Structure formats: C-alpha cells, structure tokens
Amino acid sequence: MKKLLVAIVGFACAYTLTVNAAETPDKPKLTDEQKAVRKEMVAKYDANKDGKLDKEERAKMSKEDKDKWESAGLGHKKEEKKDDKK
C-alpha cells in the first residue's frame, strides 16, 4: 500500500512539473538594434568575459551607455517587474 501511495505522489509531482514547464513563457526575441547595442555593451563592459553583464559590470556603465541600454529596451527595472506580476 505504501509503495502505491509513493508511486501516486511521484506521478502527481512529475505531472505538476510538466504542466508548469509548459506554461513558462518564452524569452522575447531581441531586435537587430537590441542585439547590436547588447553586443557593443558586452564588448565594452564585460570584465570577466563570460558574455553577460552582471550587476557589478552594469553598475560601471557610463550614464550615456546606461541611457542607450535602457532606450534599447534591454534594462530590467524593478518597478516594471512588480507591475507585471499584478
């Protein structure tokens, strides 16, 4: 009886994970302009050469580059994330 209960719980967990994975939205595709700006900023500010700009690297960006980054739609403002969750 315990084996049957464990098997049912296992299948229920697997089913839940499968359904949640299917509902995850895809990442939005970047436009050519966004790709160009991202490539330029990564080449300029990626200190550890991992192909990404982490928090510290973004903090070192100049004001003009931060504005360029935001205007291209690449920034992730916390206020926008909070509004999206509502």
Tens digits of per-residue pLDDT, 26-74?
A: 777 888 988 998 899 889 888 888 888 888 888 888 889 888 888 888 8
Q: How confident is the model at residue 6 (pLDDT cuts 50, 70, 90)?
A: very high
Contact of 46 with 53, CB cutoff 8 Å: yes
What is the domain range of residue 36?
2-85
Number of structural domains in the chain: 1
By the 8 A CB rule, do 44 and 65 touch? yes
pTM for the full predicted model: 0.53
Dist CA 6 CA 46 (whole Å): 48
pLDDT of residue 71: 86
Cβ neighbours, 10 Å, residue 68:
15
- How many Å apart are CA 19 and CA 3, to the nearest integer? 24
